[in-house]
Structure 1
Amino acid sequence: MTAFEPNSIRSYSQEDVQQILQLAIARQADDKDTEFSYEHLLEIATELEISPESLKLAERDWVVQQGQVQKRKAFDAFRIRKFKKRLGNYTIVNGFLMLLDLLTSGGLVWSLYILLFSGLPVGLDAWNTFQTKGEEYEIAFQKWNRNHQIKQTINTVLNKCFKALQA
């Protein structure tokens, strides 16, 4: 479509309509604190001839997507905490070995080799920790998610058992 075509000739694909409306809403709501009520959302959907059932399904899908985003953020934070712990251990152990080397030989002789060779796994660990795309990331996320769900289930069952025993 060109800019000089009359309004009656213009036509857009569904994807184009979504992008245009998304941009228009973003421009209208310059303030990040602007919120829309469900009634306002329903009114917009009605004007766009979107059925309330479709809107409810879309909202449900959106809630699921937001839950997945939150889970991924929690997983990424978990991986970073785990990496920081390993990096701290690496720093403490190698710092001790370097100090021992300084005290025993008057310089850094053998501890630099240990520092270098033990740094390789830490570097690879950093690469894997901050790599958030790809099959390995997905496999690690799925494993973490399963373990997280199992822990939540066990906690829920234990809490119910304790509440039943207290009553």
Structure 2
Amino acid sequence: MNAFVSLLALGDPFPRGVLPYLVGGLLVGLGASVIYLSTGIIAGASTFLESTLSYVSSVERFNRFKYVNSRGWRFVFTAGIVSGATVYMLVSGSGVWTTDVQWWRLLVGGVLVGVGTRLGKGCTSGHGVCGVGSLSNTSLVNVATFLVFAIGTAQLVQALGVAP
């Protein structure tokens, strides 16, 4: 038990302690489990966004039967993600999150992530939370790839002294 208490109080890598991350991870896992157990569908945010686009786009990709047929509850779940973040911000008093990163870097990063999620047939939430949990080979490869490139990019950016 003392080891667990010590883990919760870690100072260097976790200045706020480990508890917020444990609770956050528990809530993410619980949300993904509720979606999977009630619908049989993996809770992937990129697919939820894609199905929501069927409301406003006539592009055939967004209007496939599986998206149109399930877009109602997917939209509600997606709205719940945004609402949950908003409620946390209001309750915690942390204020609106902002960044000093230039808009063009955010745009380029977003485009790369968007293309990558479609090429990889899913995003970090679908592959990382649900896919790895179900021991999907595709998800294990995708998550390993995410991690290798994310760690490599972070190390390279830090070594080059790139700042926002």
Q: Would you call these one fold, judging by a TM-score over 0.5? A: no
Structure number with bigger Rg: 1
TM-score, normalised relative to structure 2? 0.30
